């Protein structure tokens, strides 16, 4: 009974959420688009002609935002997004989608084939582990995802490119922040207004890869 009441309360709050209503009105697949929009309006991440990789892309609202921001010319998107997720994502123009686990070598091989010898302008990661409720284990799982994203960035990000990842402001956060500062010349934490106030999620933006020593 208590669980059903919780589910009803969550659904009522979700449906009355101003960002949920706005997402429906503007045709976005989820309210998460406005988190990225707020960060982009502050940091100016996206422009026409870019190659963007969206890790943890489902349901696709971040890719939608990027594609809209890059614009169109002669009926085609002026740029490209490559999205990856364990879950399927409905097709959208301007996006190539790879369904698979970013943590598995098979998926990385397929991603490398899609990229060829191209370098990436922006890497986005809204990935998060399935949380167990055990703080130490959840922090380690989150850090593993960030580590893999940073490894990918060192291989494929343009020198002046940017990486934006989700993490949690709690146990393990300072370790992740330290790794970002070791990897990038500029690091900024971001907590967009569209992020629910009760959520501990926070985004880290790294720009300018440091030279590997």
Catalytic residue IDs: 166
Q: What is the DSSP string of 87-127?
A: S-----TTEEEEES-TTSHHHHHHHHHHHTTPPEEEEEE--
Name the pairing type of β-strands 50-55 and 157-168: unpaired
Alpha helical stretches, state H, 157-201: 173-183
Distance CA 89, CA 126 (A): 14
């Amino acid at each position: 009974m208590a669980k059903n009441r919780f589910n009803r309360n969550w659904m009522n709050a979700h449906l009355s959420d101003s960002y949920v209503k706005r997402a429906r009105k503007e045709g976005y697949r989820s309210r998460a688009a406005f988190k990225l929009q707020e960060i982009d309006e502050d940091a100016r991440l996206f422009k026409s002609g870019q190659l963007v990789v969206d890790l943890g892309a489902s349901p696709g609202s971040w890719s939608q935002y990027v594609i809209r921001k890059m614009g169109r010319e002669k009926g085609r998107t002026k740029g490209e997004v490559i999205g990856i997720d364990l879950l399927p994502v409905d097709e959208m123009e301007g996006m190539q989608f790879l369904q698979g686990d970013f943590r598995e070598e098979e998926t990385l091989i397929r991603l490398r084939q899609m990229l060829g010898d191209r370098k990436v302008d922006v890497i986005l990661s809204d990935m998060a582990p399935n949380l167990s409720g055990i703080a130490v284990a959840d922090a380690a799982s989150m850090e593993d995802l960030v580590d893999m994203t940073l490894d990918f960035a060192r291989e494929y990000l343009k020198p002046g490119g940017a990486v934006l990842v989700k993490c949690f402001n709690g146990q393990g956060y300072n370790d992740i922040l330290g790794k970002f500062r070791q990897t990038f010349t500029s690091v900024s934490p971001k907590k967009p207004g569209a992020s629910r106030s009760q959520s501990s999620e926070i985004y880290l933006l790294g720009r300018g890869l440091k030279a590997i020593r």
